[in-house]
Structure 1
């Protein structure tokens, strides 16, 4: 039964990392999304969080995507006098998204996803081998 638990736990990890990758992809996609007017803020980076949730059915803790927080760090400003969102001095607020950081986070999420996938594949092979032994 412990092998079944590991399947459920790894599946929850896959789901959580998938949610994390979606948030990161949204951040990257909006890295250049400025406001349309001087009063409108640009895109604000989102930060995925995780939470451990105890599953009584399987008797083990699983991971889930938690609250999606907003990064409250300062926006950058760029001098672009012709832009519709430029203030009276010609500066436009830029999103607080660092694409290098997002790319690094995406790679880490992919590796975590792959690790959970490997656990599922290894567990599946062990279960199949056990079934084969019992048949013999």
Structure 2
């Protein structure tokens, strides 16, 4: 595999991983008011091909955040216990917005890298044609 295609593969794996991360962040935001919902987190890990390091990244297992669920007082809610409380979600919008911004910036950086490699490859082909 040429250096250009390896670099493009690494950049595209980063874009895929960040897109997957952004999908989980958006699910968390969509379920911020869902009772009993636990925030999803995802980790990245290095990808291997034939027991060799590729430099690419892939997403690992999706994990549920084990932080305490918020207790909400609403005696009129059918989910309430005898004290009038029920479990809300453990999604913190501030954290989710920061994670979304970080995923977006990382995606853009990988896209820029992909585009730079494509331009360098194209310029090299133009030089070789002369």
Q: Secondary structure at the match of 2:78?
A: coil
Q: C-alpha distance in 2, partners of 1:3/1:11?
A: 12
Matching residue of 2:42: 48
2:109 is the counterpart of 1:94: no
Matching residue of 2:14: 13
**Could you list the per-position Cα deviations for residues 12-61 of structure 1 after superposition, in whole angstroms to 9, with x for gaps in the alignment?**
11111111001111110000001xxxxxxx111111111111224x9623
Q: Given that residues 55 and 61 in structure 1 are in contact (C-alpha distance below 8 angstroms), is that contact kept between their aligned partners in structure 2? A: no
Matching residue of 1:27: 28
2:104 is the counterpart of 1:116: no
Structure 1's 125 and 20: CA in aligned 2 closer, same or farther, altered over 3 A?
same
Shift of 1:77: 0.8
Gaps of 5+ in 1: 35-41
Gaps of 5+ in 2: none
Query: How does the TM-score come out when normalised to structure 2?
Result: 0.94
How many residues were matched structurally? 129
Query: How does the TM-score come out when normalised to structure 1?
Result: 0.90
Q: Given that residues 47 and 53 in structure 2 are in contact (C-alpha distance below 8 angstroms), is that contact kept between their aligned partners in structure 1? A: no
